[in-house]
Amino acid sequence: MVEIVGVGFVKTGKTYYFDPVGKSYELGDMVIVETARGMELGHILIANREIDESELVAELKPVERKATDADLKKYHENLAKREDALKVCAEKIEKHGLEMKLIDVEFMIDGSKIVFYFSADGRVDFRELAKDLAGHFKNRIELRQIGVRDEARILGGIGICGRPLCCSKWLSDFHPVSIKMAKQQNLSLNPSKISGTCGRLMCCLNFEDKTYKELRKGMPKDNERVETPDGLAKVVNVDYFNGKVNTRAIEKDPETGEEVFSQEIHSFRKEEIKRIGKNAGKDRTEDLPLEVMFDSEVDDEEIRELEELMREF
């Protein structure tokens, strides 16, 4: 077992483990820690506790100290300089004619360097820009290119659900999201309706997927034939959350003898129907295509077309 504290930072919702070095920290304490970017101000999200060493993904770094009044004053001074720094950087990006979108700037708490975050469609040669900025700010400059998801996390915004973006509020890590998840949730496969503000598939498709998988177990497909208490019927649609299957009875035309479907819709619970034919006993998830990730090859023509749309969107 090893003792840790969990530390969070303003620009990420993820919790990182640090070594408290025998000191006690309480939830909400402001601390100074060393990260890959340098010395940063963080806050305690997990008070002192012991975990198994197998839970560690990297060697623990120590918590340097609790933040002092001087550290907090410096932090607020850095925030006050943020707008001016962004303005200067934007002017110099235009001066050098670089195809890049400036996102944010961060001053290290110990004044060791300034980090500018930007996004771009491809690689950008920013060496001259870095030299120009270093001459202006008289400090070490780091230019860090980020992806569209991280851009959305930093800038924030409102999702189509009307709530703040998950990535900017509580989502700690980005996980792969696939078209299959949208299909399993009976969502429109129109890219504009299942994509977030970042232009990628919405993260909520991922963390809602497990629930839908459970709800779909044992449920028939749309248009599947099933046995109901009223006889043979065709599935019109499935209400997963209420556990009901909406059907239309299959009847015989008295004149032609051909099968016809009743216009009246009847609802039955999953336990009241019996699946027949080749789909009997098969979970709905089994007949869906294999999970599709971006840039992967698949045999399903529909999925390939959707992926192309997503790349253009």
Look at residue 235 in the predicted model and tell me its pLDDT. 92
The one-character DSSP state at 202 is P
Tell whether 209 and 228 lie within a shared domain: no
Is residue 262 included in any domain, yes or no? yes
Is residue 102 included in any domain, yes or no? yes
* Average pLDDT of the chain to the nearest whole number: 84
Tell whether 177 and 302 lie within a shared domain: yes
Look at residue 18 in the predicted model and tell me its pLDDT. 93
By DSSP bridging, strand 38-51 and strand 2-9 are: antiparallel
The backbone torsions φ and ψ at residue 89, rounded to the nearest 5 degrees and listed phi first, read -65, -40
pTM: 0.69
Tell whether 175 and 206 lie within a shared domain: yes
Considering its fold, how many domains does the chain have in total? 4
Tell whether 132 and 23 lie within a shared domain: no
Tell whether 123 and 233 lie within a shared domain: no
Between helices 69-96 and 127-137, what is the axis angle to 10°? Answer: 130
Q: Which of 26, 45, 67 is the last residue of a domain?
A: 67
Give the type of residue at 311: R
Is residue 44 included in any domain, yes or no? yes
Is residue 261 included in any domain, yes or no? yes
Tell whether 209 and 292 lie within a shared domain: yes
Is residue 158 included in any domain, yes or no? no
Do the beta carbons of residue 86 and residue 114 sit within 8 Å?
no
Tell whether 80 and 141 lie within a shared domain: yes
- Of 140, 111, 156, 139, nearest to 11 by C-alpha is 156
Tell whether 77 and 142 lie within a shared domain: yes
Is residue 153 included in any domain, yes or no? no
Do the beta carbons of residue 33 and residue 18 sit within 8 Å?
yes
For residue 255, the domain's CATH number is: 2.30.30
Q: Which of 48, 67, 86 is the last residue of a domain?
A: 67
Is pLDDT of 287 > 80? no
Question: How distant, in Å, are the alpha carbons of 37, 45, 172, 225 from that of 31?
Answer: 16, 11, 20, 63
- Of 279, 180, 147, nearest to 226 by C-alpha is 279
Is residue 278 included in any domain, yes or no? yes
Tell whether 43 and 175 lie within a shared domain: no
Look at residue 246 in the predicted model and tell me its pLDDT. 93
Q: Which of 37, 67, 97 is the last residue of a domain?
A: 67
Look at residue 299 in the predicted model and tell me its pLDDT. 41
Tell whether 182 and 204 lie within a shared domain: yes
For residue 84, the domain's CATH number is: 3.30.300
Is residue 156 included in any domain, yes or no? no
pLDDT tens for each residue of 180-238: 888 888 888 888 888 888 888 898 888 888 888 888 888 888 889 999 998 999 999 88
- How far apart CA 103 and CA 90 sit, in angstroms, is 10
Tell whether 131 and 235 lie within a shared domain: no
Where in the sequence is the domain holding 104, given as residue range(s)?
73-146
Tell whether 170 and 302 lie within a shared domain: yes
Long-range contacts (CB closer than 8 Å, 24 or more residues apart) made by 195-200: 195/310, 195/313, 196/152, 196/159, 196/165, 197/152, 197/157, 197/159, 197/165, 198/148, 198/149, 198/151, 198/152, 199/148, 199/313, 200/148, 200/149, 200/310
Do the beta carbons of residue 45 and residue 8 sit within 8 Å?
yes
Is pLDDT of 313 > 50? no
pLDDT tens for each residue of 33-77: 988 888 899 999 999 999 888 888 888 999 999 999 999 999 999
